[in-house]
Every structure is written in structure tokens, then in C-alpha cells.
Amino acid sequence: MVFDSKNAVAERRMRLPADTRREQLIAAAIRVLRSDVHGDKQINWVAAVVSEAGAAKGTFYRYFPSWESMLGVVRSRLLDDFHAPLRAALADDNPHDWLKLIVEQCERLVDDAFAYPVHHRMLFHYPLPGDSMDPEEMGTSILSRVLRAGTDAGEFHGITDCEATATLLLGGMHTVADTVLSRGERSRWVGEFARQVESIVRETPVNSAVAR
Amino acid sequence: MVFDSKNAVAERRMRLPADTRREQLIAAAIRVLRSDVHGDKQINWVAAVVSEAGAAKGTFYRYFPSWESMLGVVRSRLLDDFHAPLRAALADDNPHDWLKLIVEQCERLVDDAFAYPVHHRMLFHYPLPGDSMDPEEMGTSILSRVLRAGTDAGEFHGITDCEATATLLLGGMHTVADTVLSRGERSRWVGEFARQVESIVRETPVNSAVAR
Amino acid sequence: MVFDSKNAVAERRMRLPADTRREQLIAAAIRVLRSDVHGDKQINWVAAVVSEAGAAKGTFYRYFPSWESMLGVVRSRLLDDFHAPLRAALADDNPHDWLKLIVEQCERLVDDAFAYPVHHRMLFHYPLPGDSMDPEEMGTSILSRVLRAGTDAGEFHGITDCEATATLLLGGMHTVADTVLSRGERSRWVGEFARQVESIVRETPVNSAVAR
Amino acid sequence: MVFDSKNAVAERRMRLPADTRREQLIAAAIRVLRSDVHGDKQINWVAAVVSEAGAAKGTFYRYFPSWESMLGVVRSRLLDDFHAPLRAALADDNPHDWLKLIVEQCERLVDDAFAYPVHHRMLFHYPLPGDSMDPEEMGTSILSRVLRAGTDAGEFHGITDCEATATLLLGGMHTVADTVLSRGERSRWVGEFARQVESIVRETPVNSAVAR
DNA sequence: TATGAATGAGCCTTCATTCAT
DNA sequence: CATGAATGAAGGCTCATTCAT
């Protein structure tokens, strides 16, 4: 036989191990979210994803109870990636320029938002069902540990509530990303962010110099 | 027959000055947006607004080309209110505690978000059509002038790019509002915000103490 | 102008008084229910009705919250018609052959079921939502009054619980209709029904003959 | 590697004698139909049945061409059970109180309907495909023989068309069951049924008194 | 033979927007 | 100007049935 049915048409009804299919759908979802469908018109996300994955509508609902839940998975998946560098730095025992790491996080977020605006909006500016966990919790906790590490290393001073500081810092990164998205001038906003972070984490009370 | 059905209905057809009608609709929209029907359930927004305003569906579209555009108007209207205190302070010649004013702005946003979550979400976390102006631009410019005023008054130091600082500060307020919304602990987050702002606007280069 | 737009094409977006449109939809529903769509395949009833009525899907939902509710309206509408002869007989003061009237009711139901089987099935053999009123209540009450009238006229004897007797009689009519539907032999089953009814309403206690 | 994943799963693949499997599925279906999930909500019937039977979806379709056909089998199975008492009575040569047996049939149907409403609805008020045999045929024929037996025993009189009488009697039982289901008052409706049956099967022509 | 992942037509609405009156 | 009935594309999801393994 000359035509292998697999390569010929549609390759319909491909039977995949559950995990594989699931990954396929997640990957397709990320691709769809990133393929900025110019314009902000509502998209039938589920339809787009299954089409991209070469699956049928029903298949989607075998693996995810709703679009929202899929979004949750994608979100945490990408947040994991996003925070990987910080996690790595926290895991080894070498000294690090913690401030620089924080600013690089911001830059990474900015660049991602710039490359895939729809994606970014969907992931971070989509109303979550009220009872769902805060997707940023993880980010906050990692950033928290970074702040503590910096403090321990003597790089940071005056941080009293690491978690709170981290939360607002993360919010700041999003603000920068959104601003670059709508107004450009990447270096201007990233620069300002860097300056603010420095002020915040290197705070030296005016009188402390005297006290010493 | 002398009385026909047309007269019976006539009283519902109120002919109002265009501006009045428009204001009525906007006011009704704000009321509807605030009447948080507890939860994320879909609402027939347009229907709810015209019903609240005592107008007909078609009337809505006489004054606003679309629901989104109405949202835009409401947004800027409320942002106007939000920034009114700062504008007032900028307008008179008395001395002001500018830092305190900024923190109070944050508190106002937090409290509004807490009192009317749906309203807040609709106004700030609803995807705007890509070509629409940044609704925060105004806020940024006012905050910018506050920073400059504070600098002129000798209260703030080290701010080099007022507009950029203002932009991130505004973003910070939203972060705080969202955090309080999802995690409570109003005073914790507001306090952290206050501390960060202070660090940012009162930045004193380490050596400045010596300089004095 | 030669072509009146009304007669020309589609007559789209016809604006009708609410009552008229409602009636139109009900009439269309009855027509659709009667147009035995050969085969028992599920039909998208709402779609069929609006198409028949020349209206759009959304229009249906302006007038009825669901297909079930429309069915309820149609049902009571047709039950009204069905019971009209009995009501008429009860309303005038002339003597009547009540037994004959009852049998004629049965025949009318049979003939209707035979002429419009789907219609009949939908109206009487469609699971009603558990909390809905019994659609036969009205039929029962009318038949009840007929039994009492027959008793008062000395035509019927021995009926102790008119309502109960009426309920089962009505059920009997449906049984006959269903049987004719599936097995034919109209006169056989109607005849049997007539005989049974006669036994039931003319019950003469065995000893009564002696009493005479 | 000696153990492969195939062996791990192997135990789930139970190879059963075809008849056993079939019975398992039928039994499971009956259990599922009876486990009234309170209400009219849609159930994924096939899924529920195979899950209850511990089989796979595909297996279902090995034994039944469709859900409807399974329903048909269950129906006749339960009708068999339902009629067992009458069959038993017909089979032995002892004298019986035939009228009492008929009323007891009615009571059994009522109680079953009351205990398992969904079950009952599915079995008796579910539109059968037009070409399917009348599931009540069997019931009719048995009841017919009961009527004849009662007549032979001198208990019943005046029944001319046993089959027709039986058919309507069976219908009557269903009417009673449905009425009890929707209105309660079991004894009232069963009592009325008993009275009607008595009238019908003990009909004594007016002149019979003379004959005596 | 048994499995259960895959299918996809189809159902029941909803609601921003239009337009005949 | 005002009205509100009419529109219809979409959206989210189901589930009996099929078929690759």
C-alpha cells in the first residue's frame, strides 16, 4: 500500500494515552492563546483549541470540565515556567545578585506579554471564579523566599513583611507588562521598576546612618 | 371612539432633554454595576440598565453605540470622581501632606473595590477594545503632578521620571485593591503600600546623610 | 410600487402585537405537533416551531421560558377544546344522554390520537416536570360533574366517589386511544369502553332487583 | 522486562460467558433505573449502567444494539415478574379468588411506581420506536386468561370480549399507578379501581334477576 | 472479545444589537 | 425621538454511539 493512512488524511480517531492527549490539548491551548487572533473579539476558545489539537469537541470535555479549568491548568503550568529561574537560584548555594534576578523576572514577564498579548491577558486578566485559589500565590511565595534570601545575604534591608512586599512586587511586574503592552517604551518602565524595587528593598532609614 | 390605545401608553414616552437622558442612563449603569448580584453569573447588562433607568432598549443605543462604549464613559466618570481629591489639593495653594494623600487614594480604591466587587471588575478588569485610550492616562497625569508638587514642596526626593513613577504607583493601588478583594487583611496591604511608596518617594541616597 | 414588501420576500422582522405573535407561535406549535414527522426521531421542537411560525429562535423565548412551558399552554388549550361539548351540555338545562356523551368523548379522543399520533403522544405521554399541575385535573372535574348530573337525572346509580370514577374513566379513554393507535380496531375498543362505562355507572346492586 | 503493562490491566478484562454478561447488564440497568436520583434531571444512562455493571461502554453495545432496545428487554423482563403471580395461579388447579388477584396486581403496580418513579416512567412512559411490539401484549393475554378462568369458575359474568376487557383493565392499573404517583391517596384510587373492576366483571344483566 | 477514548450532531438557551412602528 | 419586539449568531455542554487498540 502506498498511502499510509496515518499520513494520508485527517488521521481521525487517533487513540492516545490519556496523558498524551491531555498534554496535546494543553499545548494546543497555549498555541491558540499565543496566536494573537488580531482583535479582541470573543473567540470560541474550546472550539479553537480542539481544532488546533485535531480533536473533537467532546474530547475536550473528557479532560477538562470547562474552559475555565483548562485555563487554570495552563496558568499554573506557565507560572511554573516563569518562576523556574528563581526556584533554581534558591535551590543552589551560590551567592546571587537577588535584585538583578527580580528585575530579570520582570523583564521576562514583559517580553512574554509583548510577544503574546492575548495569551497574557487571558492568563492574568480573566475573571476567575470567586472560589478559585489565587493563581499568584505560588509566585508570591517564591518571591518571598527571594526577599528573605537577599536579606540573609545582607543585600536587602528593612523588609518587615516579606510576603506583602513580594505580593506588591509581583503586582508591579504585571503593571509594567501591561504598560509596555499599551504604551511601548520597554526600557523606560523596566528601568523605573528596577529603581522602585531598589528603593524598597534597600531602604535605609534616614537616621540609621547616624545611629550607626 | 375618542380614546385610543395610543394615549394610554403615551405617558411612558417621556421626551427628555438629550443630556438628561444620557445622565440617567449613566447613573443607572453605575447603580446596576454596583448592585453586585453576588457572583459571577452572567447579567443581561443592557437590559438591566435600561430597566433601572426606566428607558427602552432602543433608547440606550441612541446615546451609546455599544455597551463597551457606555462602560468607557462610566469608567472615566468614576475615575474623575476617584481623582477629585487630588485635583482639589493640586488646585489650592495650601501646603499638603502629599504622601498621605497618595495613601488615601489607595484606601479609597480598596474600599470601593471591596464594597462593589463586580463594579470594580467590570471597570478595571474587562478587556478594552485594542484601539481605546488607556483609561488610566488621566490618573497617571494627576498623580504625576502630585509627585511633582511633593518634590517642589521638598517632601519627595529622588524622583526622576514622575510619569513613570506615577504609572507604577497607580498600578500598585490596583494590586492592593485586588489583593484585599481576594485575601482580606486591608490594613496589612495598605500598610505595605504606604511603606513602599514612602521608600520610593523619599529615597535618600545612602550618602545623603553625610552630605547634610 | 408594484411589489408590496409584505408579499414579496421573507417578510422579515414583522412586528406584531404581543398577543398575536403568541397565538401565532401556539398555532405553529400545534401544526408542528400534528405534522407527524414520520419516525419518532427526536426533533428540535423549538426550531421547528419558529420555522413554522416564520419567527426567529429568540422570539420563541420572548414568549415562553421553555419548550415545556409552551407544551403546557398547548395542552390546556386543546384540553379546553376537547371538553367543550361536555361543558356545553352541563351549561344548558335540557335533558341529556350522559352516557352517550361520555362515549362520544372517548371517540373524539381516539379520533384525534389517530389523526395526529405525535401530537397526542407529546401532549399526554410526555414526562411533565414533577412540580407541574396535573393537566388532566380540569378534565376530571368536568367529567365529575357529568357523573353527578347523570346521577341527578336518575341515569346513573351507585357512584360513590364521582371524582375518582371520573379520573379512571378519563384514564380509560386514553387507554382506548393508545390501543387504537397501536392496534387499530377502533370500534372494538370503543365498544368495550362503552360497555365498561355502562357497567360502572349503571351498577345495580344484586339485591336491588329484589328490592324492586 | 518480564512484566508488561498489559498484564497489569489484564484482570479488568474479564471474559465472561455471553449470557452472564448480558444478565449482569440487565440487572445493572434495573438497579440504575430504580436508584431514582430524585428528579427529572438528565442522566447519562448508558454510562451509569455500564459503570454499575463493571463493564465498559463498548461491551454494552455488544449485547444491545441501542439503549432503547435494552429498555425493551428490561421492560419485558419486569413485566414477566409483574405477571408471575397470575401465571402461577393460572397454572395450578386450585380455586382462586380471581377478582382479588386482579386487584392485587393493581396494588403491585402502584407500589412499584411509588417506590421507583423514574423506573416506572422510563418503562411505561417512554416513547417506543414505532415499529416495536406492544410490550403490554403479554400482560393482556395473561389477564385475558384470568378473566376466562374467573368466568369458567362462575365468578365473573357477562364478559364477552376477554381480550378487550383485559386490555382496558391493564390500562386502568396504569392509570391508578400514575394517579397515586401524582396525587397520593393510594387506597382511594385502588378502592375505586376495585369497585370498577367488580362492576365490569360481575355485571349482572338487569333481567338476570328474573332468570334466577 | 473487551475496552474506553473519541466522536460530533445537536440541544437549550442567551443577549447585544437592530429596526419597524 | 422613543419604543420594545425581533433577531440569530454563538456559546457551553451532553451523551448515545463508534471504533482503534
What is the residue-wise DSSP string for A97-109?
A: -HHHHHHHHHHHH
Q: Is the CB of C44 under 7 A from strand E?
A: yes
Residue pLDDT, tens place only, C138-179: 889 999 999 999 999 888 988 989 999 999 999 999 999 988
In the prediction, which pLDDT does C132 show? 57
Q: Do D200 and C203 touch (CB under 8 A)?
A: no
Name the residue closest to F5, CA to C1'.
C15
Nucleotide nearest to A13 (CA to C1'): E6
Instruction: Compare CB distances from D40 to C127, C200, C206 and report the shortest one's residue.
Output: C127
Distance from the B182 Cα atom to the nearest Cα atom in chain A, whole angstroms:
7
Calculate helix-pair angle for B162-183, B117-124, nearest 10 degrees. 140
Q: Is the CB of B5 under 7 A from strand E?
A: no
In the prediction, which pLDDT does C209 show? 39
**pLDDT bucket at B4, cuts 50 / 70 / 90:** very low
**Interfacial residues of A (vs B; Cβ cutoff 8 Å):** 39-40, 121, 125, 127, 129-130, 134, 158, 160-161, 164-165, 167-168, 170-172, 174-176, 178-179, 182-183, 188-189, 191-193, 195-196, 199-200, 203-204, 206, 209-210
**pLDDT bucket at B79, cuts 50 / 70 / 90:** confident
* DSSP 3-state of B179: helix
Q: What is the mean pLDDT of residues B53-78?
A: 90
Q: Provide the residue ranges of all domains of chain A, joining segments of one domain with +.
A: 11-64, 74-211
In the prediction, which pLDDT does B65 show? 93
Which residues of chain C are within 8 Å of residue D204 when distances are taken between CB atoms? 204, 206
Rounded to 10 degrees, what is the CA torsion of D41, D47, D52, D55? 170
Distance from the B44 Cα atom to the nearest Cα atom in chain A, whole angstroms:
17
Query: Are the C-beta atoms of D177 and D113 separated by less than 8 Å?
Result: yes
User: Quick one: B66-203 is in which CATH superfamily?
Assistant: Tetracycline Repressor, domain 2 (1.10.357.10)
Query: Are the C-beta atoms of D26 and D50 separated by less than 8 Å?
Result: no
In the prediction, which pLDDT does A212 show? 34
Beta-carbon contacts of A38 under 8 Å, excluding residues fewer than 6 positions away, are none
Pairwise pLDDT comparison (A119 vs D168), residue with the higher score: D168
pLDDT at D2 over 70: no
CATH class of B15-64: mainly alpha
Q: Is the CB of C175 under 7 A from strand F?
A: no
Query: Are the C-beta atoms of D171 and C179 separated by less than 8 Å?
Result: yes
Find the Å distance, CA of residue A26 to C1' of nucleotide E1: 34
Q: Is the CB of D115 under 7 A from strand E?
A: no
Residue in chain A closest to B121 (alpha carbons) equals A127
Chain A neighbours, 3+ Cβ pairs < 8 A: B
Fold that domain D14-64 belongs to in CATH = Arc Repressor Mutant, subunit A (1.10.10)
Distance from the A168 Cα atom to the nearest Cα atom in chain B, whole angstroms:
6
Q: Is the CB of A95 under 7 A from strand E?
A: no
Q: What is the mean pLDDT of residues B38-54?
A: 81
Residues 76-135, chain A: which have Cβ under 7 A from strand F?
none
Q: Do D175 and C178 touch (CB under 8 A)?
A: no
Q: Is the CB of A67 under 7 A from strand F?
A: yes
CA D89 distance to own-chain centroid = 18
CATH code for the domain defined by C10-64:
1.10.10
Please give the mean pLDDT across all residues of chain D: 82
In the prediction, which pLDDT does A5 show? 34
**Rounded (5°) CA angle C68-C72-C77:** 150
Distance from the D180 Cα atom to the nearest Cα atom in chain C, whole angstroms:
11
Query: Are the C-beta atoms of B188 and B144 separated by less than 8 Å?
Result: no
Q: Do D196 and C195 touch (CB under 8 A)?
A: no
**pLDDT bucket at C114, cuts 50 / 70 / 90:** confident
Pairwise pLDDT comparison (B131 vs C184), residue with the higher score: C184
Chain D neighbours, 3+ Cβ pairs < 8 A: C
pLDDT at B157 over 80: yes
CB atoms under 10 Å from CB of B200, counted, come to 24
How far apart CA B176 and CA B163 sit, in angstroms, is: 20
pLDDT at C208 over 70: no
Residue in chain D closest to C136 (alpha carbons) equals D179
Nucleotide nearest to C59 (CA to C1'): F6
Find the Å distance, CA of residue C149 to C1' of nucleotide E10: 52
Chain F: bases < 7 Å from a protein Cβ: 1-21
Q: How many helices (H) and strands (E) does chain B have?
A: 11, 0
Q: Tell me, yes or no, if the pTM score tops 0.85.
A: no
Instruction: Compare CB distances from D172 to C171, C183, C191 and report the shortest one's residue.
Output: C171
Beta-carbon contacts of A172 under 8 Å, excluding residues fewer than 6 positions away, are A106, A193, A196, A197, B168, B171, B172, B175
Pull the grid cell for residue B60. 440606550
Residue pLDDT, tens place only, B80-105: 888 999 999 999 988 899 999 999 99
What is chain D's Cα-based Rg?
22
How far apart CA D132 and CA C118 sit, in angstroms, is: 16
Nearest residue to C141 (alpha-carbon basis) of C110, C164, C112: C164
pLDDT at C185 over 60: yes
CB atoms under 10 Å from CB of D69, counted, come to 13
Distance from the C3 Cα atom to the nearest Cα atom in chain D, whole angstroms:
47
Pull the grid cell for residue C209. 332487583
Walking along chain A (212 residues) 10 residues at a time, the average pLDDT comes out as 36 81 93 70 82 93 92 87 92 90 94 81 67 71 93 88 93 90 90 92 55 35
Residue in chain C closest to D189 (alpha carbons) equals C164
How far apart CA D141 and CA D156 sit, in angstroms, is: 17
CATH class of A74-211: mainly alpha
CATH code for the domain defined by C71-211:
1.10.357
For domain A11-64, which architecture applies?
Orthogonal Bundle (1.10)
Q: Is the CB of C55 under 7 A from strand F?
A: yes
Residue pLDDT, tens place only, B190-212: 999 999 999 898 865 444 433 33
Where do we find the cell 376487557?
D165
Find the Å distance, CA of residue C58 to C1' of nucleotide F10: 13
Find the Å distance, CA of residue B197 to C1' of nucleotide E12: 53
Residue C29 CB-density burial (10 A; 0-12 exposed, 13-18 middle, 19+ buried): buried
Find the Å distance, CA of residue C15 to C1' of nucleotide F6: 7
Q: How far is CA A35 from CA A19, A39, A50, A119, B52, in A?
A: 24, 11, 14, 8, 40
With touching defined as 3 or more inter-chain CB pairs under 8 Å, the answer for chains C and D is yes
Q: Is the CB of A12 under 7 A from strand E?
A: yes
Which residues of chain A are within 8 Å of residue B40 when distances are taken between CB atoms? 127, 129-130
Find the Å distance, CA of residue C85 to C1' of nucleotide F11: 48
**pLDDT bucket at B59, cuts 50 / 70 / 90:** very high
Q: Do B172 and A168 touch (CB under 8 A)?
A: yes
Query: Are the C-beta atoms of C62 and C15 separated by less than 8 Å?
Result: no
Residue pLDDT, tens place only, D46-82: 999 999 999 999 999 999 999 888 988 888 888 888 9
Query: Are the C-beta atoms of C172 and D199 separated by less than 8 Å?
Result: no
**A200-204, B89-93, C180-184, D174-178: least confident range:** A200-204
In the prediction, which pLDDT does D166 show? 94
Distance from the B84 Cα atom to the nearest Cα atom in chain A, whole angstroms:
23
* DSSP 3-state of A157: strand
**pLDDT bucket at B121, cuts 50 / 70 / 90:** confident
Q: Is the domain covering D68-211 a CATH 1.10.260 domain?
A: no
Residues 61-80, chain D: which have Cβ under 7 A from strand F?
61, 66-68
